Each structure stands twice: as structure tokens, then as C-alpha cells.
Amino acid sequence: MKHYLAFVVLVFEFLFAQTFRIKAVGDLVFGTNYPVDRLPKNPRKTLFRHVEEYLKGAHLLMGNYEGTLTDHPRSAKNISRPNMFAFRAPPEYAKVLADVGFHLMNVANNHSGDFFYEGYVDTQKALRQYGISVTGMLDHIEYMQLGGKKVAAIGFSYLRHNSIHDLKKGAELVKKARKGGAEIVVVTFHGGAEGSAYIHTRNQIEMYVGENRGNVVAFSRAMIDAGADIVIGHGPHVPRALELYKGKLIAYSLGNFMGYYVFGTKGYTNHSLILEAELNEKGDFMRGRVIPLELSKANIPAYDPEKKTIKLLQKLIREDFPETKLVLDDEGNLKIKE
């Protein structure tokens, strides 16, 4: 009876409360069939079988698709060079993302152009064909009607998408979304240096392989100052700290979510998570949860009973944002310090 009552309360809250629940994951790619086929033949069963249940129950489920969904035959990259990769999967694989419940994918990242502009456009078309909204195109605001609210999403990167370097223009997009009637404004970005050596978040420009990967703290706070309700980052391929800024949640990196035999798993790159955040009717953060995941050597996610990602995030929050009022407890619950 106790479990039944708890379930009834949860259902009632989800259906009738004024809160808006977001679930988000980091970098996601099915694998690649270029230059040789390394794709799972049954991607839903292979990649999502351990985590699909944890993705349910959100008004908005979102991720960063770091690859292309295209049949374009040629890559824009010379993958014979060191550390140069091109990710391609058939357009019909987008159906898997819809089937497991994703509402939104960001395509502003450093792999969106792996197969030229044609592959970039094909990816957007494939996602939309299966009912998934897309953000990350230059000067574009994606509007969605979810959970009884008008939601706007804006994707940024350090490249030729909406730019994390141009705070003024980014702020203008956020303000435009508000003027367009958005009740919830979600900003997502791809930025910051990559790898286990860069788990810490600093309020400074980050350089990596000769590229300016942005000042993710200055960018995120500027977007909230302009009117964003939540900022969700990815790109470093490792989890980074979370911060509560002016009542709004910032997740500086959600790390890798899945990448079948294309992402590394050394160090902290095998630490993963599903972030859950509940916002009130004003868009302020109320509560949330970190669902800890671990990636296998094949980069397939599964729940981590040792909760290593929670322990890592506790450390990073404490060291990088000691003044934040955000608290992450040992079970993964995110709360506001009283």
C-alpha cells in the first residue's frame, strides 16, 4: 500500500502540478558506419536496454546528437589525421531516439559538419521526420509545446553555430524567445576543453587543440541574466560541476551518454549521468536528481550502483563553486541549501 500511495502521489504531481520536469543527457551518437561499419544492428536494444526506463517521466527529454544522420558518401574530414573522426549513421536511426522518448536534440557541436552541409541538413530532417525538435542552427529558436507550456530551446557551440563567444548576440536570442511567448527558455551549449584533465570548470577562456572553446561560466551566467531558465552544457566528454545561479540551474557538462565504439572510456570519460531538474512556474529550479551511469568499454550506458558520478560531482561542486546554494546528496538528490 505504501508503494502504491507513493506512485499515486508521483502521478498526481506529474499530471497536475505546476512544475516542469526536464531530463537531459550529454553527448550521444549511435556509432559510425564510416569508413567501416561499426554500428549496432539493433540500436535500441543494444544501446538503451539498461537506461530506457530512467529516461521516462519528463515533460522535456533532451540530448546532444554529436554526429550525423545521413547517407552522404563523403566526409568533410581527413580522418587519416590523428584524433580526427567522422560520425555517420543512417537517417532512419533517428526513429530510435523518438521511440525511447526524446523530444529535443541539439546539433550545435563539432561533429555536425562531418559530412558537409548536406549531412548537417539531413540530420535535422531525419530528426524532424520522427517528431523530434531540433536546436543549434544559426539564429534559430526552437519552440515546442510541452507540459502545457510554450518552451523555447537555443543551442550554441564555439564554432559557426550560435556562438558562445558572442554574449551580446546570445542574450538577444534569449530575449527574443521571451518576447516570442516562451514560458520556459532552455539554453544548451557545446563548449569547454575535453578529457579527464579538464573536469574542473573555471571562469576563463578554455583553449584546446589550438581552439578557443569559450568561457562557459561567463556564457552560462550571461544567458541567465538575459532570461534563460536553465543552461545545460556538454562537450568536455566528462561530467563537470553544477551551479545554482540566481535561482537557475547550470550544468556545465553532462559528459558522454553513449557512443558505440567511438568515444573513449579512460579516466572520467566513463562517468555518465541523466540529469533531472524540476522548475517552478517562474522557471526557477526547485529540485532535481542525478541518475548515475557508467559506460562500458563499448560505450553503452547502465545504472552505476556505486554512484561514482555522484561522488565526482559532489567533489566538483564543492571545489569549483563553493558558494553555490545547490546541494547534491549521496543518493543523487539535488536540493537548494536552506
The fraction of the chain above a pLDDT of 70, given in percent, is 95
Of the options 3.30.360.10, 3.60.21.10, 3.40.50.300, 1.10.3210.10, the CATH number for the domain spanning 21-336:
3.60.21.10
More confident residue, 4 or 265: 265
Tens of pLDDT, residue by residue over 231-255, are 999 999 999 999 999 999 999 999 9
Instruction: Identify the pLDDT of residue 338.
Output: 85
Cell representation of residue 200: 574542473
CA 31-35-39 angle, 5° bins:
25
Q: Is the pLDDT confidence value at 1 over 80? A: no
Three-class SS state of 158: coil
As a whole-number percent, the residues of the chain with pLDDT over 90 amount to 93
Contact assessment for residue 67 and residue 88, using Cβ atoms and an 8 Å cutoff: yes
Minimum mean pLDDT among 77-91, 118-132, 216-230: which range? 77-91
CA-wise closest residue to 77 among 92, 65, 88, 63: 88
* Per-residue confidence (pLDDT) for residue 8, from 0 to 100: 55
- 334: cell is 539535488
Q: What is the mean pLDDT of residues 152-158?
A: 98
pLDDT of residue 12: 53
pTM: 0.94
Per-domain residue ranges for the chain?
21-336
Angle at 116 between CA 140 and CA 191, to 5 degrees: 55
Q: Which amino acid is at 159?
A: L
Average pLDDT over residues 56-61: 98
- Nearest in space to 47 (alpha carbons), one of 314, 259, 306: 259
Q: What is the pLDDT of residues 123-152, one digit of tens each?
A: 999 999 999 999 999 999 999 999 999 999
Residue 14, pLDDT > 80, answer no
The b/e string for 180-212 (b: 16+ C-beta within 10 A; e otherwise) is eebbbbbbbbbbbbbeeebbebeeeebebeeee
For the chain, the maximum distance between any two Cα atoms, rounded to a whole number of angstroms, is 61
Sign of CA dihedral 257, 259, 262, 265: positive
Query: Residue 140: CB partners within 8 Å, gap ≥ 6?
Result: 154, 162
pLDDT(84) > 80: yes
